[in-house]
């Protein structure tokens, strides 16, 4: 008998074609994510699941789903999953690293350029019929070329963002928990600096680091106060890294020039103050949202799932301390 699996979102025909020979597939066809008891009900008789970054897995859910052997996140991040609880329950957790780096870096640059040049606000203004014709000092934005780019989190995505900065002849600064090897710095044309120096010197501050408790509100009122009044904050990382209330206040009061945001605290609910700001460009967590990349992510998760159920050794195992057969 084939193992039973659950896919928490509508997926691609290619993924179903890959999985069906190995598994009995139950695919969630609804638009809204399942949570709590509704998710547990679908997982109760399943051996493994492919989840997105929004379905939450905790000890209570695991207790209701004793057959589960693997949770395969279709995402790089996995802060929706209580990994310690999974480890205690003997459930493997996997993610999808490396397949969305360039696509997320592309979106970071879309937000940089849109924020710097008032693209969204100017588009809305024009569509509203407010354009009287060319005016010399109309919609004056910020130059990106030759500006200073500061990157928090110089992993694969951060390095992809830095590589793109060469085309704009930018100075690139970065800050990490650990400094990168000199060879990696040279390849990225990036200079390691302190957190304070990055905030003070950068024209564009880009966040590409993973969420962790120690990164909660890494950017708050004190950090925003260090930034130039002409600077922009770009977040393509995770909600919670920025104190959204502090950012709304800084934008409203003109203490920084603008922001480009793809992620938020408590999403999909977001601070209502953002909706009142013309100097904030907002996208709904679409960093990896190209068809090619989402297909690669789903395939990587599916490969992890099949490996977990067959060899017990999935390639992207987050908790290797789980005993594997």
Give the active site residues.
238, 267, 285
Classify 41 as helix, strand or coil: helix
Interhelix angle 119-127/101-116, nearest 10 degrees: 60
As a residue count, the chain comes to 325
Distance between CA atoms of residues 314 and 185, nearest Å: 31
Hey, what's the torsion of the CAs at 199, 161, 71, 37, to 10 degrees? 60
Residue 293 backbone dihedrals phi, psi, to 5 degrees: -75, -45
Q: Identify whether the C-beta of residue 3 lies closer than 8 Å to the C-beta of residue 48.
A: yes
Strand order in the sheet with 70-73: 24-27, 4-7, 48-51, 70-73, 92-94
Helix H, strand E, coil C: the string for 89-110 is CCCEEECCCCCCHHHHHHHHHH
Q: Identify whether the C-beta of residue 236 lies closer than 8 Å to the C-beta of residue 287.
A: yes
């Amino acid at each position: 008998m084939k193992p039973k699996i659950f896919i928490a979102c509508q997926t691609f025909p290619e993924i179903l074609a890959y999985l069906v020979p190995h598994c009995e597939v139950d695919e969630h066809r609804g638009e809204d994510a399942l949570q709590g008891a509704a998710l547990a009900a679908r997982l109760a008789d399943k051996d493994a699941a492919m989840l997105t970054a929004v379905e939450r897995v905790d000890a209570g859910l695991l207790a209701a789903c004793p057959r589960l052997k693997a949770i395969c996140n279709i995402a790089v991040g996995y802060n929706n999953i209580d990994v310690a609880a999974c480890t205690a329950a003997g459930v493997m957790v996997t993610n999808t690293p490396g397949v969305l780096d360039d696509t997320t870096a592309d979106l970071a640059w879309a937000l940089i350029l849109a924020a710097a040049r008032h693209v969204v606000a100017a588009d809305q203004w024009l569509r509203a019929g407010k354009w009287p014709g060319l005016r010399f000092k109309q919609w004056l934005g910020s130059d990106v070329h030759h500006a200073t780019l500061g990157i928090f989190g110089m992993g694969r995505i951060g390095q992809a963002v830095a590589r793109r900065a060469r085309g704009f002849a930018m100075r690139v600064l970065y800050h990490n928990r650990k400094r990168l090897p000199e060879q990696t710095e040279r390849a990225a044309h990036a200079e390691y600096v302190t957190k304070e120096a990055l905030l003070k010197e950068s024209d564009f501050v880009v966040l590409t680091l993973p969420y962790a408790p120690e990164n909660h509100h890494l950017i708050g009122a004190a950090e925003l106060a260090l930034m130039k009044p002409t600077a922009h904050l770009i977040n393509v990382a995770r909600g919670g890294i920025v104190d959204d209330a502090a950012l709304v206040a800084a934008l409203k009061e003109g203490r920084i020039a603008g922001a480009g945001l793809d992620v938020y605290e408590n999403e999909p609910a977001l601070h209502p103050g953002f909706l009142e700001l013309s100097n904030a460009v907002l996208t709904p967590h679409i960093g990896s949202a190209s068809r090619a990349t989402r297909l690669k992510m789903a395939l990587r998760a599916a490969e992890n799932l099949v490996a977990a159920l067959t060899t017990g050794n999935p390639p992207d195992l987050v908790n290797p301390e789980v005993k594997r057969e």
